[in-house]
Amino acid sequence: MNKTIKLLTAAVSLVLISNTVIAKESRYPEFGNGRIEQNLVKASEYMVSSANPYASEAGMRIIAKGGSAIDAAIAVQMVLNLVEPESSGIGGGAFSLYWDNQEKVLSSFDGREKAPMLADGKLFQENGKNMSWWEALAGGRAVGVPGVVAMMEKVHKKHGKLPWAELFEDAIKLSEEGFEVSPKLAASIAKRTNPALGRYEDTWKYFFPGGKPLQAGVMKKNPEFAMTLRRIALLGAKGFYKGQIALDIVGAVRMTAADNPGLLTAEDMISYEAVERPPVCAPYKAFKVCGMGPPTSGGMTVIQILKLLEGKDLQNLKPMSPEAVHLFAQAGKLAYADRAKYMADADFVNVPVEGLINGDYLAERSKLITDKDMGKAAAGTPPNADKNWLESKSPEQPSTTHFSIVDKEGNGFSMTSSIEMAFGSTVMVRGFLLNNQLTDFSFSEERKGELIANRVQPGKRPRSSMSPFMVFDKDDNLTMVIGSPGGSRIINYVAKTMLGVMEWDMDIQEAISMPHYVNRNGATDLEKDTDIAGIKGDLEALGHKVNVRDLNSGLHGITISSDGLQGGADPRRVGRALGK
């Protein structure tokens, strides 16, 4: 089987609404060393930045017709499910922030998957021993109850303007008439990013027609997905969680994936609810930064990194200097240590949210940052913390997506969406893939008689790193919408990009394009084939263990000022920011 993909381009006209026209160009520019050129996009009225041009165009059309940011977001997500199926979709989960610009109110919504009610702490154990992650990822065992549809309907009922069914039209049309396969999707298939991709027949036939991997540039249809979307468009979320779609999902989890079956039931599907939760916010110098609270660790951990660095005079350091990278890595170590011990689903365990982002606590923790690498950081004891949780790890894979939207009224939407591993569980039903998000739980429920916060429990939501964020100025005006895929590295990607704008006066595209540096309480990772790799020796002299590696984010962001909107898209993927 051919393991390489020639990255093709096809000239198309990108015609936007309201007589806004982009000159003829390739929909998917050629990659150069795994990157494409992305330019800052400016607009005065509204903007969409997402991981695929088809999706950004769909969102723009909705706003042009009078739709709100959530209306556009539904169109964007449904199209992404079709054109970027390896990353997100209705078979997965998501977290989102919605800014109501008229009321000046920020809301956050939890569409994270839930464990079946029959699941317990031994879900990923066989014969008393933990399964390997590779044994657990494919099939039905790791499939949680999907949350995307329920969450989007919940936000739409509160903030939507256009009819629900109208928001599915672009995805339905593309499913029936065909879309151009992107270089990213083609490469993910050909490289077997998920080694189980060919295990189940429906998935194999879809991604390997005639036994060969889909090629970039070919037109691909998905009429089965179109029928699924038509049912959801007609019936709303109940068309997904009740009736034949739900039964087909349960059947796929328990029977199609008979080699690694799951415990999902029709009752689990029917009882799923998306939850509106309070956002997590903290001051950072002249700004207020806001993210999503538990069960994602992203909001708290990003805020911890920022607050740990707040007194370090970053403005007078070059953003890619050894000194700046060292400080960022040390803050990452401290934040990830707390994350591993305390952060999980707050509906099941006591997560000291306010304590973890407490300014006095973090100011004291920041004193541990010196001019030498600290080695492995230990968790602190934030106010109101349970002291008996054990640290846990979960692999959290980088195949996720993020999109940022600002509509004509200045409402903002920031959503990170995922099916976990690339192609999720590799179980396909009704034209979409099911998640394997339950592998984000700790496979061990206890160690030496002490419980782990992020253990499997019936109905529990696994810890996540998804980090949709918004930034506000001192007058409570929205100034930035940002987020990224990237597994547990999401936190680093988002925090560094926010610092690029807030500390180093970069425009949003410069901040997104800046080479990555990451630390998750271990080695410091530097992005391969970028200038940042050149400081490896300087960091090693400070005591760092350094890895130079690919760091494939998918940052998509928008900044808002008196001069209008500016948008950026990650050059490491094939997305696009569009605005009018």
Residue 197's DSSP bridge partners are none
Cα distances from 73 to residues 423, 486, 522, in angstroms, run 21, 20, 36
Amino acid letter, residue 401 = T
Burial string for 299-315 (b: 16+ CB within 10 Å, else e) reads bbbbbbbbbbbbebebe
pLDDT higher than threshold 50 for residue 21: no
For residue 64, give the H/E element and its range. Answer: helix 53-64
Largest Cα–Cα distance in the chain?
66
| Average pLDDT over all residues of the chain | 92
Average pLDDT over residues 106-127: 96
Report residue 7 as tokens: 């990255």
Q: Which residues are catalytic?
A: 400
pLDDT higher than threshold 70 for residue 408: yes
pLDDT, residue 330, reads: 98
Relative to beta strand 21-26, strand 556-561 is unpaired
Report residue 298 as tokens: 């992203």
Burial string for 214-229 (b: 16+ CB within 10 Å, else e) reads bbbbeebebebbbebb
pLDDT higher than threshold 50 for residue 115: yes
At a CB cut-off of 8 Å and minimum separation 6, what does 360 contact?
none
pLDDT, residue 7, reads: 30
pLDDT, residue 9, reads: 28
Q: Which of 506, 241, 452, 222 is nearest to 342 (CA)?
A: 452
pTM of the model: 0.93
Which pLDDT tens digit goes with each residue over 86-105?
999 999 999 999 999 999 99
Burial string for 270-284 (b: 16+ CB within 10 Å, else e) reads eebebbebebbbbeb
Model confidence band, residue 449 (pLDDT cutoffs 50, 70, 90) = confident
pLDDT, residue 20, reads: 33
Q: How many CB atoms lie within 10 A of CB 51?
A: 31
Model confidence band, residue 447 (pLDDT cutoffs 50, 70, 90) = confident
Task: Please count the CA atoms within 13 angstroms of the CA of 69 that sit on its side-chain side.
Answer: 28
- 74: three-class secondary structure by DSSP: helix
Average pLDDT over residues 421-444: 95
Rounded to the nearest 5°, which phi and psi values hold at 413?
-140, 130
pLDDT, residue 192, reads: 87
pLDDT higher than threshold 50 for residue 8: no
Which pLDDT tens digit goes with each residue over 519-563?
999 999 999 999 999 999 999 999 999 999 999 999 999 999 999
Which pLDDT tens digit goes with each residue over 227-261?
999 999 999 999 999 999 999 999 999 999 999 99
Which pLDDT tens digit goes with each residue over 195-226?
899 899 999 999 999 999 999 999 999 999 99
pLDDT higher than threshold 60 for residue 50: yes
Model confidence band, residue 33 (pLDDT cutoffs 50, 70, 90) = low
pLDDT higher than threshold 70 for residue 26: no
At a CB cut-off of 8 Å and minimum separation 6, what does 250 contact?
264, 265, 266, 268, 269
Which pLDDT tens digit goes with each residue over 505-515?
999 999 999 99
Domains of the chain, start order: 11-26+47-276+394-516+551-579 (3.60.20.40), 298-342+350-388+526-549 (1.10.246.130)
Q: How many CB atoms lie within 10 A of CB 409?
A: 15
Amino acid letter, residue 497 = T
pLDDT, residue 451, reads: 86
pLDDT higher than threshold 50 for residue 479: yes
pLDDT, residue 88, reads: 95
